Amino acid sequence: MAEEKLERLDIVTPEKKVYSDDVRYVIAPGGDGELGILPEHAPIMTTLNIGIMRVQKDGQYTKVAVSGGFLEARNSKVVVLADAAERADDIDMERAEAARGRAEQRLAAKDPDVDLVRAELALQKALNRIRTTQQH
């Protein structure tokens, strides 16, 4: 018996399509916590937090760093409209580490002109990109 698959997973950002394929299941950082989507999942629309999406296809996992957005699952199709998304294999670790360093410096400086919320968000995104590349 063939493995039951979602018909399609599409992960898109305003700049590009990051992922598009038939998959077995998806685990996503939903607004209310992690959620898993299997074939024939009930229709759902949710926000996405900064986190790691895990996609399983043919026994292999692909990790994608997402930085917010929306997920819709309907009729065995999942569409992710992400603010930003990168496959683990596409993440430039030098750039991610540099972004983390800049964000940590802004937060440590205690400069009244620094937008602390924005700096904390930049740090969360950089750390998420770094975590996405690590094996688990």
**Is residue 136 scored above 60 in pLDDT?**
no
Q: What is the pLDDT of residue 44?
A: 94
- Which residues are within 8 A (CB) of 121 and not within 5 positions of it... i.e. 6 or more apart? 50
- For residue 102, the enclosing domain spans 91-133
β-strands 77-82, 44-57 pairing: unpaired
Cβ contacts of 100-109, under 8 Å, gap ≥ 24: 100/126, 100/127, 100/130
Looking at the domain assignment, is residue 114 inside a domain? yes
Q: What is the pLDDT of residue 135?
A: 65
Looking at the domain assignment, is residue 119 inside a domain? yes
Rounded CA separation 93/21 (Å)? 26
Same domain, 82 and 107: no
DSSP letter at 110? T
Q: What is the CATH number of the domain that holds 123?
A: 1.20.5.440
Same domain, 74 and 97: no
- CA 27-33-37 angle, 5° bins: 30
Question: What is the tally of structural domains in the chain?
Answer: 2
Q: What is the pLDDT of residues 66-104, one digit of tens each?
A: 999 999 999 889 999 999 999 999 999 999 999 999 999
Q: What is the pLDDT of residues 23-68, one digit of tens each?
A: 999 999 999 999 999 888 899 999 999 999 999 998 899 999 999 9
Same domain, 114 and 76: no
- Which residues are within 8 A (CB) of 114 and not within 5 positions of it... i.e. 6 or more apart? 106, 107
- Which residues are within 8 A (CB) of 105 and not within 5 positions of it... i.e. 6 or more apart? none
Looking at the domain assignment, is residue 1 inside a domain? no
pTM for the whole structure: 0.88
The rounded Cα 129 to chain-centroid distance in angstroms is 9
Among residues 88, 108, 123, the one where a domain terminates is 88
